[in-house]
Each structure stands twice: as C-alpha cells, then as structure tokens.
Amino acid sequence: MVKKFKALSENQLAQTVRESAHQIWLAGLGAYSKAQEEGNKVFDALVKEGETIQKRTRKAADEKMAVVAGKAAGTWDRLEQVFEDRVARALSSLGVPTKKDIDKLSKRVAELTAVVQQLTEAQGGTVKKVARSVAAPATTKAVATGTAPAKKPAPPKSAAVKKAAEPADAAAGPATAA
C-alpha cells in the first residue's frame, strides 16, 4: 500500500484522502440516521423486554410470598395450639372446670330437673316441700357454682398435738415429780 501512495502524486494523494474522509463522513451520517430511525424501535423493544422481565419477577416473588405465608400460617396455628394446650393444663391443675365439664353438668341438671318434676307431678307436691327442707343454703350454692360444699376447717396441727399431749403430760407430770 505504501508503494501505491508513493506512486501517486501529491495532488492525487490529497484527492484520495479527501474522498476517503468524505466517505467516512457520509458513513457516519448514515449511521446516525439509521440510529435515529432504529433508536425508537430499539427503545420500544427494550421497554417490552423490561415489561416481560418485570412480569416474570413479580410472578416469582408472589409465588415465594405465598410459600412463606403458608409456612407462617402453619407456624402460627401450631403456636396457637401449644398455647391453648398449656392454658388448658394450667386451668385444669387449678381445678377450673372446662366448657365440656360445665356442659356435662348442665345436661345432668336438666335431666335431674325433669325427673324431679315428674316425681312432683306424680306425688302431688309433697316432694317439693321435702326437697326445700332438706336443701341447705350452702348446698344450693355449691350446686349452683359446681363445687362441693365447704368443710369445717381442721384445727392447726400444733393445736391438735397440744390437746393430745395435755392428758399425757398431766399423767406424766406427777410421775416424774415423784
């Protein structure tokens, strides 16, 4: 190529450089024009691709959220069941009746009421008088609350020991003195 340039005269060389520069300039203008025309198409294509990726990403995120929410709901259900079991055990150890116990007692009271009513009707009212005289206020209250009637408190152990020891001490007193 260098030989070609040497063979050319300076005018011809300058003319060739001008033509090459002009062709490069025209190529640049053509590229710029194509870029403007294609630029809108490329931009629209990029927007569509972005929308597609966003939809896929949102779908994947929603699926992950659903899985996590399902696990969380299961965990909360187990936690709630453990809590309910522990509360039920605590109430049971304190002697608090459960709903099942109360329902059972209510059913039994209804049955007994029906039986008492039948007996009352059969005997003409004498059972009512006997039942009223037998039922004491403490017993009625105990039946209403579902607990046994209160018992007389036992004397303190020290007082019981003193009472039991007194006759023995009295008998032992004169024997030791003699």
- Which tens digit of pLDDT belongs to each residue from 52-65? 999 999 999 999 88
What is the maximal distance between C-alpha atoms in the chain?
164
Over residues 129-133, the mean pLDDT reads: 58
pLDDT in tens, 147-161: 555 555 555 555 444
pTM given for the model: 0.30
Tally of residues, the chain: 178
The pLDDT value given to residue 126: 58
What percent of the chain clears pLDDT 70, i.e. is strictly above it?
A: 65
Nearest 10 degrees: Cα torsion 6, 9, 14, 19: -80
Instruction: List the domain boundaries for the chain.
Output: 9-96, 97-147
Count of other CB atoms within 10 angstroms of residue 13: 14
* Cβ pair 127, 119 in contact under 8 A: yes
In angstroms, the CA 62 to CA 56 distance is: 10
More confident residue, 15 or 119: 119
